[in-house]
Amino acid sequence: MPRGLCHRHGADRPCTCAMGNLYRFVEPVVLLLLKKHGPSYGYELISALNDHALTDARIERAALYRTLKQLEDNGYVVSEWDVSGSGPARHVYRLTDSGEKHLLEWSIVLEKLSQAMSNFVSDVKAQ
């Protein structure tokens, strides 16, 4: 990061920049974007990702490309090269059935986590 020092938002307000990329939940958001908008590629996903991200941190390109590779290694997406358009070839990823299941699992995990966080916040406010 380096952790604990945010260059983007400064020291004047709390932000999630001190959390790692896993904390930014890149994986589930990519899975959802692929489900909602169909097959896509890194360069296109990066802007959508920053619009739909769960935290206020900017998603690194490097993190996204590595996440996509990892998703493919795990069988959650499959990819092919699109050389039809002009400009550099696009590495296009498509969600698999396994990936859809994985998205639902993420949904369950995040629903519980959301509730737990909400309870935590109430607990803090009650003090």
- Which positions touch its own copies (CB under 8 A)? 4, 14-16, 19-20, 22-23, 25, 28-29, 32, 35-36, 53-56, 74, 103-118, 120-121, 123-125, 127
Query: For DNA, which residue of 50, 56, 60, 96 counts as binding (CB under 7 A)?
Result: 60
Work out the burial of residue 18: count CB atoms within 10 Å of its CB; fewer than 13 is exposed, 13-18 middle, 19 or more buried.
middle
38 counts as binding DNA under rule CB under 7 A: no
**Minimum separation from the CB atom of position 37 to DNA (A):** 14
For residue 42, give the nearest of 80, 86, 83, 91 by alpha carbon.
91
Q: Is 39 in contact with 93 (CB distance < 8 Å)?
A: yes
Q: Single out the segment in contact with DNA by CB under 7 A; choices: 30-38, 42-50, 105-113, 118-126.
A: 42-50
Q: Which is nearer to its own copies, 31 or 64 (CB)?
A: 31
Q: Is 67 in contact with 26 (CB distance < 8 Å)?
A: yes
